[in-house]
Amino acid sequence: MVGNNVNVSYRINELIKKEFIMPYINEESRGKYWRIVNAIQDSEGIITKGDLEYLIFTLMIKYMSTREYRYSTLHDTVYSAMHCADEFRRRYLDKREDEAREENGDIE
């Protein structure tokens, strides 16, 4: 199982190098966050789903800490995470499902 995780990690890192996926912001804006992104990439990795959820939640809390506590900002925070999930699904999960359907055949 560890070997498989290494392979998946390598594939994701290669995808990140090829195209910094979401969100679609300019280079200058991305540059503000490269220190954080690099620290995560240089770490042991995000090992569990719980680790990933912790990081996402922490980012959401940080975002909210700089804004007025009201419905519209809470809504923006939640939907930003959902839009990223939608984009990830569109780019990676859907493609993987298409590959599996081609390999294994479609439902008749």
The whole-number pLDDT of residue 3 equals 47
Nearest to 24 by CA among 83, 73, 107: 83
Residue 17 pLDDT exceeds 80 = no
The whole-number pLDDT of residue 1 equals 42
Query: Which pLDDT tens digit goes with each residue over 18-69?
Result: 554 556 788 888 888 888 888 988 888 889 999 999 999 999 999 999 999 9
The whole-number pLDDT of residue 70 equals 94
Q: How far apart are CA 48 and CA 6, in angstroms?
A: 13
The whole-number pLDDT of residue 11 equals 58
